[in-house]
Amino acid sequence: MLVFLALGWSSKPVADDPAVLKQLVIDFFRGIERKDTVALRRLTTADFVLYEEGLVWNNDSGFANIRRNLPFFVRYTLSEFVLHGDVNSGDARWMNHADFVFDDTVIRSFDWVESATFRKTAEGWKINFLSVARRAGFVAPRYDTVRFAREHYEKRIVRFRREPLSQGGIIFLGNSLTEYGDWKKLLGDPGVVNRGIAADNSFGMLERLEEVIARRPKELFIEAGINDVAQGIPTGRIVANLLVMMGRVKLACPGVRIYVCSVLPTNADARVEYPEVAGKNGVVEELDGVLKAAVEEGGGVYVDLKGMVRDADGNLDRRYAAADGLHLSPAGYAVWAGLIGRIREGR
């Protein structure tokens, strides 16, 4: 079953506010992500039914299907909502992209066209009917993972493969901000593994995640997003990729502690060497807001470095920035390492 397995209750509603219906749909799919059958039942009517390409599901059969397919991880990205609501009923249609991970490493993605009807009950708005259909002829966009530094990327991958396989340590996964940090020195731990690659984006990190998983880290620090922003990758897609990373690692490495760093702004100096990312601090701000909530909901730790290295105008503070306006100076890395130390100590 593709929706229950491809396998929250919303705020008090205003009778004719379509935004309430949209939130109800979002809460429903977040409930599937969390396998929260109590919430899913609360969000739907007693006679709720789902039609899916010739199959008919209700809550009981859907929940049974979820249990049969455990363990798995899924992240939904909903978009293009069209909604209508009156006093007692409503309807909506939208697009849905889902990434599933089964058995630690089996990854499947789906795109659907979906619609729903809603009913106003004594307990508030609920979903009464849901219809799901494959999005025919749709090919999800692919984004070049090494658009800016292909040769460097390939050299780093070769180097990673040559390193001895150590397990149970600390790994940093990210782009140039991660690569340029001397994490062994910054954390005072010679066993720290640096898996940063300059110019990489979240798609590239997903593609090379198996090498990270093979090391069975006890702590994983993920830093990603600014190169995605530079390429115009949608905020929802970036967050979904990061959550898929978290889900895959958590399934394969029980007990791992995952930290996700905020995406950092740039300053005016970035216009010279990195014009593709300059002036996009508004996008970064929006991304970080969504990312923080998603990471914490997913059981990770959000590392708010941005709040410590930006100036009063929301730009990367030159006290902590490299001359290029994008990367960090030694002072910036000292702030980052200090923040990590306090978080790990519970302060």
Q: What is the pTM assigned to this prediction?
A: 0.70
141: pLDDT strictly greater than 80:
no
| Mean pLDDT for the stretch of residues 113-126 | 94
Share of the chain above pLDDT 90, in %: 67
Give the span between the Cα atoms of 318 and 307, in whole angstroms.
14
To 5 degrees, how large is the angle CA 321–CA 324–CA 326? 60
Q: Which of 252, 345, 246 has the alpha carbon at shortest distance from 291?
A: 246
What's the confidence (pLDDT) of residue 16? 53
For residues 3 and 132, is the Cβ–Cβ distance under 8 A?
yes
146: pLDDT strictly greater than 60:
no
**Interhelix angle 281-297/235-252, nearest 10 degrees:** 30
108: pLDDT strictly greater than 90:
no
Interval 29-84: pLDDT, tens: 999 999 999 999 999 999 999 998 878 889 988 888 888 777 788 889 999 999 98
What's the confidence (pLDDT) of residue 62? 87
For residues 171 and 196, is the Cβ–Cβ distance under 8 A?
no
What's the confidence (pLDDT) of residue 305? 98
282: confidence class by pLDDT, cuts 50, 70, 90: very high
| Mean pLDDT for the stretch of residues 248-263 | 95
310: pLDDT strictly greater than 80:
yes
